[in-house]
Amino acid sequence: MGHPPFERRELAVLFAALLLAALSGYYHRDLRRIPEWRFLLAGILCLIIGSTATIVEHFALYDVFNTVEHTSYLAQSLMLAIWAWRVRRVRA
């Protein structure tokens, strides 16, 4: 099976993730007021890792970076789910 072609939108997702990380850093004090904010920040980090792996997989070690990509997106989803569960638990 061949490798999928490189797409510009993959760069757009990485750019959006990096922008989100930069804004999170800039508004760090406000972010800390959100309950369980560390899970949200971990999700952003997973998004950056996953979108970076998406781009790198086109140039080297396709199978390795494809696995990293999908594992990162799974971890990102888990971070958001854990955050939502813990916030709901705290407020209930």
Confidence grade of residue 28 (pLDDT, cut at 50, 70, 90): confident
The model's pLDDT over 48-71, given as tens digits with 9 standing for 90+, comes to 999 999 999 888 898 999 999 999
Across the chain, what does the average pLDDT equal?
88
| Sequence letter at residue 64 | V
Which helix (H) or strand (E) segment is 23 a member of? Answer: helix 8-26
Q: DSSP letter at 7?
A: -
Give the other-Cβ count within 10 Å of 72's Cβ: 20
Residue 19 has pLDDT above 90, yes or no: yes
Q: What is the pLDDT of residue 52?
A: 92
